[in-house]
Amino acid sequence: MDSRFDHLGLLVRELADGSRVVVSRFGGHVLSWFAGGRERLYLSRNAIADGCQPIRGGVPVCFPQFSSRGTLAKHGFARTRVWSEVPSAAADTIHLRLVEDAESLRLWPRHFALDLHVRLHPQALDVELAVCNTGGDPWSVTGALHTYIRIEDLHATRLLGLEGLRVEDMLCRTFTTSLRDSPDLSHPIDSVYHDVTGPLELRDLRQCVRIEQSGFADAVVWNPGEVAAARIADIGPGEEREFLCVEAAQVQSPVLLEAGQSWLGRQVLRIS
């Protein structure tokens, strides 16, 4: 694991088969998942590790807002807050929690508890996000697990399982039905697929990753492409070919939570 991140409160779990997951308390952020003899998540060589700005790569938590669809900063504030570790009896699990404080109440006057469970299994990574309304008034949220999957070559990658779904192309600002067995990844992509129920499958030159989600209704597929990536300071030269974001997300229909209610979203990555 890159030593640049050592000061961010790293938590590590390892299995006998050599699998390992590294999670930062800053952002409640999964930084690394090593399985099957190699790294499975992309983490930019230019990622900023100053403990203030979001980290490029891994699995950022977007909460309580997805993207710029609201009044908060892009993707909300959870990915730039310091989370607290909650002791877990399970040796393969990291449990982090984020609750409101003076700063979050200034930005978003809601009382909440956000629990992140990261479970490491042989050949699988299970990330679960639980949201609880701990206040007295109802509120709604959008969000995502903004997963960056490391790939060999974007142009030799396919993402299967999206055919027939309603899709919002956020670059062209259009709504259509997906007619392809895999999105065209030879061009920039920023698309929200709605009402995802079945698993997705990412295939490249060296791997097949099965992507399952529950709770989250949408899946977001993102890669900026070469031209836009060159304008993003924390993506290194040519690195846009090394990842595809496949995000478990709640975008189209915000989750409404009454006082005391909870909601659970989950994404599981399996090497097959």
For residue 254, give the H/E element and its range.
strand 243-257
**104 neighbors 83 (Cβ within 8 angstroms):** no
Within 8 A by CB and 6+ apart from 172, the residues are none
Q: Which two tokens stand for residue 59?
A: 């699995």
Distances (CA, A) of 53 to 12, 218, 234, 249, 256: 22, 26, 11, 22, 28
Query: Is 247 assigned a catalytic role?
Result: yes
Catalytic residue among 75, 146, 239, 240: 146
Strand partners, 243: 150
3-state DSSP assignment of residue 229:
helix
Q: If we measure between CA atoms, which residue out of 123, 145, 141 comes closest to residue 131?
A: 141
Query: Is 155 assigned a catalytic role?
Result: no
Distances (CA, A) of 247 to 22, 203, 268: 19, 16, 11
The residues annotated as belonging to the active site are: 146, 247
